[in-house]
Amino acid sequence: MDEFNEEGIDMGELSIFEKEKLLVGVLISRIEVLPELEDRLIHCWGDIDLKSEPVLFEYTDYYNREMGSSIYRCFFSFKELVAPEDLPAIKIRTNEIELDYAEGADRKVNLDPGILSLSKFILATTKNNVHRIPMNRGIYGELTLQFKDRDFHPLEWTYPDFAGRENRDLLIRIRDIYKKQRKALKN
């Protein structure tokens, strides 16, 4: 319920953010290290409740110079829900993991952590832009997809792979898992 302060200004009531679903998108050019990488992610964020099969990443050649031409994309969804305000620390940790797999100055693993709620999917990034909100410790949050009319919808800046039908369908499946988790927490 809204309250009024002494000056009669309508103020919203402060509350704790609801925990959300952590996802990590993986771009990887050394597919043979994927099982080891999965173990590391589990060590950091707990059990995985959904993972996608690696598929050839053909949306852009942006990463080819750094990672090579055979790049695969997969996603991991974690069972334990996270506080949205933890996303910057998660992004910093994924950046550290990327460095562990780098060869010289070239990354061979690119990790894209994000949080999914019932209404949206937010990616964490170190790159500022007009559509990105500063969060903490040099990390920005980007509203990447919005959920309405029973589907995730891309925005003008949504990366092509996240805008693609297959990945949006995967996110709908993960959202269904999250919805069941929320219902179980309320019972």
Query: In degrees to the nearest 10, what's the CA dihedral of 114, 120, 126, 131?
Result: 170
Q: Summarize pLDDT for 46-73 with one digit per residue, the tens.
A: 999 999 999 999 888 888 999 988 999 9
Cα separation, 171 vs 169, in Å, equals 5
pLDDT at 157 over 90: yes
Q: What single string gives the DSSP state of each residue in 13-30?
A: PP-PPPPBEEEEEEEES-
Among the listed ranges 1-5, 22-26, 172-176, which one has the minimum average pLDDT value?
1-5
pLDDT at 187 over 90: no
pLDDT of residue 116: 98
Q: Summarize pLDDT for 5-34 with one digit per residue, the tens.
A: 566 667 788 888 999 999 999 999 999 999
pLDDT at 3 over 70: no
Cα separation, 93 vs 86, in Å, equals 11
- Average pLDDT of the segment spanning 128-136: 90
Cα separation, 169 vs 175, in Å, equals 10
